[in-house]
A and B are shown apart, each in its own frame.
Chain A
Amino acid sequence: MKIINTPLDFNKIKFLKAGQEVLLSGTIYTARDQAHKKLVQGIQARQTLPFNLVDAVIYYCGPTQTPRGKVIGSCGPTTSSRMDTFTGSMLAKGLRGMIGKGSRSVEVRNAIKKHKGIYFVTYAGCGALLSKYVKCAQQIAYGELGPEAVFKLEVENFPLIVAIDYSGNDIYKGTSAL
């Protein structure tokens, strides 16, 4: 199994192909609907963002509360397509990788190709299991959003499947749904 580490500069992802399984270690940032809205507003207003987007990996995830004695609660992926309208401007600012579930729009696929990004999916509806791969979690921004805040996660061997590679090959293209 291929193992990759963050930050994800292009050299680390250029050999990855749609459909391939990989394990990711390093730092990833959670962000979902409302955090995306705020991040893109920040980009438009030329503000400094809560974390550096260059070569970063965003995980579409809103974890449960953290149970006592645990690093994090259940923390699986949420539906990626809700973030589609925000993704282009994030990729343009250097975002490299995204982790979520489900398919993406044609616009996102094209933006991934243009900016040499990558989209991964992980085991959907398996939030308890995925919490095992998170070694450290810290809320770093937008605390007012509750579970939609941005959390900085340190992950080890987090299981992923490449869904859209940098050349735009899409694991979901051609399925009955698209």
Chain B
Amino acid sequence: MRQLKAKAITQAIVELVKRANFFLRKDVLFALRQANLREKNRRAKTILKAILDNAAYARKENLAICQDTGMPVVFVQVGQDLKISGNLKAAINQGIAAGYKKYALRNSIVSDPLQRGKPGFSPCVIHADIVSGNKIKLTLLPKGFGCENKSLLKMFKPTASLAEIKQFIIEAVKSAGPDACPPYIIGVGIGGTADYAAQMSKKALLIKLSAKHSKLEKDLLKQINQTGLGPMGLGGKTTALAVNILTYPTHIAGLPVSVNISCHALRSAEIVL
């Protein structure tokens, strides 16, 4: 059985903290550039240019793309034939805290949601999955809360029409309005249970924006962009860059649908050890 020291995981997480927060994802950059070429609206173009300039400046100066360096969310896929020596969970959280401190990111995490108190760098939220093989894949998604606050979950009846589901997703974007830093990336989870749909909607944000999209995803994107909300909510064709949907089998009695909106600064980085 292959062995891996927990310390190696801590080091890998520190590196992911840097990559995710300083270097905007290539697929997101590409989508923003394409949007800038398509836009005719002067103000929308000015804002998209500022967003692109911001990404370039962050990369050059080793600065956080956004001051909201998020609640760090770490997706872990552990191969069942891998033996980790040490405490995996602690190793991940140590990497987060060390990385956020080292790269002068923001201490946005309060240890108690009700008492609040002075914020720190960790813990992160961990979603673990067991896969075949003897490797481990770590993916860090620092999720800003301007957009996380706009997340929605609805338990539809199993007889609900596709039109009703589409309407719910579009309304989620409309209700986020200009507040959550459009242009958005819309993560959607359909099926499973309430918690699993919510998790899928977050995980959907990891799918490359350049990936092949389904008819449903394309239709939704088109309708969302027809709202005219635009960059910063000040008008234009670019309200969202992509709609990514993940689905899972569900129960005969239900149809959970979760929407997780990301701001334009969709940040993530991954590594396989």
Chain A positions within 8 Å of B, measured between CB atoms, are: 34, 61-68, 70, 73-76, 78-81, 101-103, 121, 123-132, 144-148, 161, 171-172, 175-178
Contacts and interface: CB of A to CB of B under 8 A. Distances in A.
Contact of B233 (A75, A76, A146, A172): A172
Interface in B63-86: 63-69
A127 B149 CA distance: 19
For the complex, would chain A's binding face be called helix, strand, loop or mixed by DSSP majority? loop
B106 A66 contact: no
B54 A123 contact: yes
A66 B61 CA distance: 13
Contacts of A175: 177-178, 228-229, 233-235
B178 A102 contact: yes
Contacts, number: 153
Q: Is the interface of B mostly helix, strand, loop or mixed?
A: loop
B146 interface: yes
Contact of B119 (A67, A75, A147): A147
Interface residues of B, number: 49
Interface of B: 47, 50-51, 53-55, 57-58, 61-69, 101, 103-108, 116, 118-120, 144, 146, 149, 174-181, 227-229, 232-235, 263-265
A125 B63 contact: no
A48 to B, nearest CB: 24
A113 B203 CA distance: 44
| 3 closest residue pairs by CB, A with B | A177-B177, A102-B179, A128-B58
Contact of B57 (A68, A79, A129, A147): A129
Contacts of B101: 65
Given A125-B66, A172-B233, 11 more contacts: A62-B67, A68-B104, A73-B63, A121-B232, A125-B51, A125-B65, A127-B65, A128-B55, A128-B64, A145-B119, A175-B229
